[in-house]
């Protein structure tokens, strides 16, 4: 591959693809030349600011058969993006992608294939959009052994939760607002139930912690059960609530990974994240904590990450040595040990607290405090217990026992408290 003028083909001319093309056609990156743009119904996509030399096509095969050096995949989804990425590598082309689902589900296979052929798969934009976090973990922190990562990786959840926090509105109302503002899809499940952040966490775990994990093994919990009252009680504790993606690699070899709502201190960087901002904090055994924050989405920031990957591949020149396959997937547990917040909503009557404390005691869980704001109706009374550190699985067993009682108006809500 000629490093001073690599030929680049673009698969997908949507939000990110158009922003990538803008940069490649700007004259700012003479090291690479855009040769092809692929999209379905491509005639409807044509724009006049792309040079006439660029070939527009609705045939992916045309690109795969061409002499292009690097294929940029910004179509999205797992299929047929996976088949196209694989075919590109088999045809001797390196691949740059912004596709978290593709990399979370097939990244190991694609990277192995690329390495066996001295090619590259780059995917910086697949995690935290415009923040170059993967490169920072792989290169900037290569001298450390990273053992934990925590992140706010989903803008939809950050938007919804920060709106619930600031205006005391319900999840349903905040979601409608997020959809109107373009922060949430018509079907928001992937975002609010955790699958989107889990895919990104799987990529970070493989790159940063060097522990490839299956996305399906990451324990996810939805932000749907969060209510405005949880923000009131969280504030009493100096905290707010955010969807937190967390993974750790223990010395024992165990890997923990979850995506779930959690209490975080109001004064912390996590507590201050709103909208499409993302935050990733990693902890290494030598260097301690390092944080990265910035735009986690948006066409232009994401395109900068894509083009940076393209330039890096182009600068690397011809095939490097074939590399060994990566390690197999690690088993994952979601059973983090943490202090917890548990909100009960009960039809009040004497003896409820003593039953709950007895269940905690039975499972060896220590109560730190009880919070009850005075303004609520007795027949729908929310109150909170805060608990000292315990494994989530132990708390689940205690709550399963408590939940059998007839005074609950709705199931207890347990959230870890991350300091
Ligand atoms: N947008 C962001 O802020 C952002 C941030 C980070 C990562 N990403 C990732 O970047 C990728 C692209 O996202 P995007 O926001 O640019 O999506 P998008 O706006 O929907 O663009 C996707 C483009 O690919 C085309 N396409 C989809 N399926 C196709 C198929 N089977 N055959 C041919 N063309 C097809 C679409 O054509 P039509 O117009 O006909 O549908 C559209 O032009 C995704 O993997 C996404 O997760 C996006």
pLDDT digits (tens, 9 = 90+) for 21-38: 999 999 999 999 999 999
Are 217 and 232 within one domain? yes
Domain with residue 391: its CATH number is 3.30.70.260
Which of 14, 58, 63, 153 is the best mutation target for the ligand 1 pocket, counting ligand atoms within 8 Å of the beta carbon and taking the most?
Answer: 14
Q: Distance between CA atoms of 193 and 225, rounded to whole angstroms?
A: 10
Active site residues per annotation? 200
CATH of the domain at 221: 3.30.360.10
Mean pLDDT of 158-169: 96
Q: Let me know whether 229 and 155 are in one domain.
A: yes
Residue 324 is assigned to a structural domain of this protein: no
**102 and 147, same domain (yes or no):** no
Q: Are residues 43 and 64 part of one domain?
A: yes
**pLDDT score at 267:** 96
pTM beyond 0.75: the answer is yes
Instruction: For residue 114, tell me if it sits in a domain.
Output: yes
Q: What is the pLDDT of residues 347-360, one digit of tens each?
A: 999 999 999 999 99
CA-CA distance, 259 to 218, in Å (whole number)?
7
Give the pLDDT of residue 101.
Answer: 95
| Domain stops at, among 284, 316, 348 | 316
Verify that 286 and 312 share a domain, yes or no: no
What is the Å distance from ligand 1's center to 77 Cα?
8
Identify the domain containing residue 34 by its residue range. 6-129+300-316
Task: Determine the residue of 62, 76, 153 to mutate for testing ligand 1's pocket, defined as the one with the most ligand atoms within 8 A of the Cβ atom.
Answer: 76
Report if residue 173 sits inside a domain. yes
Kindly report the CATH number assigned to the domain that includes residue 67: 3.40.50.720
Residue with the smallest CA separation from ligand 1 atom 8 is 98
Check whether residue 270 and residue 154 sit in a common domain: yes
pLDDT in tens, 106-125: 999 999 999 999 999 999 99
H/E run at residue 71? strand 70-73
- In tens, the pLDDT along 248-264 reads 999 888 899 999 999 99
Site to probe by mutation for ligand 1, drawn from 10, 16, 185, 277 as the one with most ligand atoms within 8 Å of Cβ, is: 16
Q: Taking 60 as the threshold, does the pLDDT of residue 321 lie above it?
A: no
In a domain, 322, yes or no: no
For residues 273 and 268, give the distance between their C-alpha atoms in angstroms, rounded to a whole number.
9
Question: Same structural domain for residues 144 and 279?
Answer: yes
Q: Measured in angstroms, how far is the CA atom of residue 39 from the centroid of ligand 1?
A: 10
In a domain, 46, yes or no: yes
> 371 and 238: one domain?
no
150 plus 288 within the same structural domain: yes
> Are residues 58 and 159 part of one domain?
no
Question: For residue 139, what is the DSSP state?
Answer: I
What total number of domains does the chain contain? Answer: 3
pLDDT digits (tens, 9 = 90+) for 34-52: 999 999 999 999 999 999 9
187 and 286 co-located in one domain: yes
408 by Cβ neighbours in 10 Å (0-12 / 13-18 / 19+) ranks as: middle
Place of tokens 């937190």: 244
Contact between residue 60 and residue 79 where contact means Cβ atoms under 8 Å apart: no
Confidence tier at 10 by pLDDT (50, 70, 90): very high
Asked whether 38 and 54 are in contact (CB, 8 A), the reply is no
What string of DSSP letters covers 155-201? HHHHHHHHHHHHH---HHHHHHHHHHTTSS-SS-HHHHTSHHHHHHH
Count Cβ neighbours within 10 Å for each residue of 358-377 and write b for 16 or more, e otherwise.
ebbeeeebeeeeebeeeeee
Has residue 267 been placed in a domain? yes
> Is position 330 within any domain?
no
DSSP three-state, residue 333: strand
Pocket of ligand 1 (CB under 6 A): 12-17, 39-41, 74-76, 80, 98-100, 125, 129, 297-299, 302
| Separation between Cα atoms, residue 111 and residue 326, nearest integer Å | 8
Residue 164 has pLDDT above 60, yes or no: yes
76 Cα: distance to centroid of ligand 1 (angstroms): 5
Are 191 and 285 part of one and the same domain?
A: yes
* Domain assignment present for 326: no
Distance 172 CA to ligand 1 centre (A): 27
């Amino acid at each position: 591959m000629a490093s001073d003028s690599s030929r680049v083909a673009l698969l997908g001319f949507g939000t990110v693809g158009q922003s990538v093309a803008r940069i490649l056609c700007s004259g700012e990156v003479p090291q690479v030349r855009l040769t092809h743009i692929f999209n379905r119904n491509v005639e409807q996509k044509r724009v006049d600011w792309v040079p006439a030399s660029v070939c527009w096509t609705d045939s992916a095969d045309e690109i795969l058969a061409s002499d292009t050096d690097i294929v940029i995949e910004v179509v999205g989804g797992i299929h047929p993006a996976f088949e196209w990425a694989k075919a590109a590598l088999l045809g001797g082309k390196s691949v740059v992608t912004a596709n978290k689902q593709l990399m979370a589900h097939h990244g190991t296979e694609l990277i192995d294939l690329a390495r066996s052929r001295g090619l590259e798969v780059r995917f910086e934009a697949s995690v935290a959009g415009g923040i170059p976090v993967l490169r920072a973990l792989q290169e900037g922190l290569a001298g450390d052994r990273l053992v934990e990562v925590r992140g706010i990786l989903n803008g939809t959840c950050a938007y919804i939760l920060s709106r619930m926090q600031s205006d005391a509105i319900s999840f349903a109302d905040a979601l409608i607002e997020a959809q109107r503002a373009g922060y949430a899809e018509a079907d928001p499940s992937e975002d609010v139930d955790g699958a989107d952040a889990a895919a990104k966490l799987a990529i970070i775990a493989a790159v940063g912690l060097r522990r490839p994990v299956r996305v399906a093994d990451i324990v996810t919990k939805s932000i749907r059960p969060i209510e405005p009252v949880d923000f009131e009680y969280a504030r009493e504790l100096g905290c707010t609530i955010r969807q937190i993606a967390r993974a750790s690699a223990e010395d024992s070899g165990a890997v923990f990974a979850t995506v779930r709502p959690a209490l975080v201190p109001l004064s912390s960087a996590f507590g201050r994240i709103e909208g499409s901002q993302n935050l990733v904090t990693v902890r290494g055994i030598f260097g301690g904590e390092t944080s990265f924050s910035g735009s986690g989405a948006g066409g232009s920031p994401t395109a900068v990450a894509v083009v940076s990957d393209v330039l890096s591949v182009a600068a690397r020149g011809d095939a490097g040595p074939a590399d060994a396959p990566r390690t197999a997937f690690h088993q994952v547990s979601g059973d983090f040990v943490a202090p917890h917040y548990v909100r009960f909503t009960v039809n009040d009557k004497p003896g409820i607290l003593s039953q709950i404390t007895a269940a905690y005691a039975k499972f060896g869980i220590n109560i730190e405090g009880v919070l009850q704001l005075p303004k609520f109706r007795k027949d729908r009374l929310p109150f909170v217990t805060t608990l000292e550190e315990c494994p989530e699985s132990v708390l689940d067993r205690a709550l399963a026992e408590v939940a059998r009682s007839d005074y609950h108006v709705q199931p207890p809500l347990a959230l870890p408290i991350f300091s």
